[in-house]
Structure 1
Amino acid sequence: MSPKDLLLALVVIVAWGLNFVVIKVGLDGLPPMLLGALRFALVAFPAALFIRRPKLPWRWLLAYGATISLGQFAFLFEAMAHGMPPGLASLVLQSQAFFTLFFAALFLRERLRPASVLGLLVAAGGLAMIGLEGDHVTPMLALLLTLCAGAMWAMGNIITRRFGNVDLVALVVWGALVPPLPFLALSWWLEGQARIVDSLLNIHLSSLLSLAYLAFIATMLGYGLWSTLLSRYPAGKVAPFSLLVPVVGLSSSAWLLGERLGPLQWAGGALVMVGLLINVFGPRLFSGRAAGRATPSR
């Protein structure tokens, strides 16, 4: 990867890692479902007027928007509103990698590789350790909601596997047409008309800046640059950079918000990262060792 493209990858990782701190700031002034409605309204309008719709049936666009956009962020925003620390959220959300493996085996009949199973078990142990200390630092409900967000992301990954080659930016923009009205309906139901009106009438500058960041930096810029990198390099060379998102998320949350995790949560977080590394790089190591054993000596 060229130095210029490496810099682009790091810009994306920083943008996505800081995303969790920005969500926390946004939630200080707006209720979670209203924040979701406004975020995706900004992504979709007016961008959808200038970006051509991806060549996909509407049912797949609806499925994508309902899972990766609506489902993932409804659970994530609600989890963070219920006390999920931003840095820890960035880490636990990576459980999507293992939910994706499970859903692929269940719905696509893909075979689970030994390295993936090992990585899953290691990460599951890490999540269990995080949960053991959850009552002291993170409410268990918030942890479960974040896992639900990861599961919705994973379901969206399974759906996108049916697309083949598709313009990622167009997919994100047109998929963003789906969530605003459901988010608004959820806000009306869960948060109430009075809170919606009060939040909008007394919206703070910090909330407006958070919305702008979530819509234009984390979403439009982030996915735009990520799409550019995927068009230039194999996915296997680009995807591992996403492992740095929790690193940025945890460090920025500690630096900017003073987030402090307990010893078990740090240990559990380390195990989750090890599990993710095994899942990403383990198959190559396993196949390399197998090839080495199969090579005849001379």
Structure 2
Amino acid sequence: MKKNDLFLALFITFVWGINFSFIKLGLQYIDPFILSGIRFLLCAFPFVFFIKKPDIKFKYIFSYGILFGVGLWGIVSLGIYFGISAGMASLILQMGVFFTVILASLLLNEHISFIKKIAFAIALLGLALIISVTDGSITIIGLILVLIGAISLSFTNIIIKVAGTKNLFSFMVWASLFSPIPLFILAYLTGGEIVFEQFIENLNPTGIFSIAFQVYPTTLLGYYIWNSLIHEYPISSVAPLGLLVPIFGIAGSHFIFNEQIGDMKLIASTIIIIALMINTFGEKIYIKYKKGV
């Protein structure tokens, strides 16, 4: 990978990591469903008027928009709102990698290797240790909500795989059309009209920055650059860099919100990251070892 492209990839993982902290900043002033709804409203408009609809079945665009906008980011934002720290949310969401492997096996008949099963078991151990953290950065409801987000993430990965679209920027813009209305409905059902009134009253530079950061560098620019790199280079060269997202997420939460990184949290985070590394590199290393033997 060229140095400039490597820098871009590292920059995007940094953006995706600290985005969790900027979501939390926005949640100090904005309802979680409204925050996510505005995010995807601005992802769709005005771009949808200038970008051609991707040439794939409508059901893929619609289902991705619901799962990505509502099931993933709407629910993850709600989880952060209910007390899970930005750093832990960025880490736990990586469980979506393992859920994707399981879904691919169930829906696409893809084989789950023994090494991937070992990686998943190790990740579950790390998740169990996270539950035992008592420094206030983990709440059970927040943990459950982020895990639901991770499951939604796995479904979006399957949709991308099945849809087979190559123009993922166009796909993201058009799919975002179907996220805002369900999110605004959820905001109304959970908070009533007052949450919309409070949004207007409480909107300030911090809230505007939170929304803008989620829309432009995180969603539109981030996915455009990342998917461009995947088209330019082998997936095996690009995808592993995603392992840096939770590292940047935890670091960002530490510096922005002074989230404490105690021994138990450090051990649990290390175990999950090791599991992700085994899932990503394990089979290749094993194959090289067998050839060497």
Distance in 2 between the 1:137 and 1:163 partners?
A: 38
Asked if the contact 1:43/1:215 (under 8 Å) is kept, the reply is yes
1:111 aligns with 2:111: yes
* AA in 2 matched with 1:248: F
1:8 aligns with 2:5: no
Asked if the contact 2:79/2:141 (under 8 Å) is kept, the reply is yes
- 1:215 corresponds to: 215
Shift, 1:165, TM fit:
4.1
Shift, 1:195, TM fit:
2.1
Asked if the contact 2:69/2:180 (under 8 Å) is kept, the reply is no
Distance in 1 between the 2:44 and 2:68 partners?
A: 15
Q: TM-score, normalised by structure 1?
A: 0.95
- 1:296 corresponds to: none
Alignment coverage as a number of residue pairs: 293
Distance in 1 between the 2:29 and 2:93 partners?
A: 23
Asked if the contact 1:70/1:178 (under 8 Å) is kept, the reply is no
Asked if the contact 1:137/1:262 (under 8 Å) is kept, the reply is no
Range 149-158 or range 220-229, more displaced: 220-229
- 2:251 corresponds to: 251
Give matches, 1:110-149, under 5 Å: 110-133=110-133, 136-149=136-149
Range 257-266 or range 72-81, more displaced: 257-266
Structure 2: unaligned runs, 5 residues or longer: none
Q: Secondary structure at the match of 2:182?
A: helix
1:123-157 Cα distance to aligned partner (Å, 9 max, x none): 11000000122585411111111111000000111
Shift, 1:202, TM fit:
2.7
After TM superposition, which residue ranges in structure 1, 4 or more long, deviate above 3 angstroms? 134-137
Distance in 1 between the 2:243 and 2:137 partners?
A: 24
Asked if the contact 2:64/2:156 (under 8 Å) is kept, the reply is yes
- 2:170 corresponds to: 170
Distance in 2 between the 1:98 and 1:279 partners?
A: 8
Q: TM-score, normalised by structure 2?
A: 0.97
Distance in 1 between the 2:77 and 2:136 partners?
A: 21
Structure 1: unaligned runs, 5 residues or longer: 294-298
Asked if the contact 2:243/2:276 (under 8 Å) is kept, the reply is yes
- 1:80 corresponds to: 80
* AA in 2 matched with 1:108: L
Give matches, 1:15-34, under 5 Å: 15-34=15-34
1:196-236 Cα distance to aligned partner (Å, 9 max, x none): 21222331110011111100110111111112211210111
Range 197-206 or range 174-183, more displaced: 197-206
- 1:91 corresponds to: 91
* AA in 2 matched with 1:78: L
Shift, 1:194, TM fit:
1.2
* AA in 1 matched with 2:97: A
Shift, 1:164, TM fit:
2.0
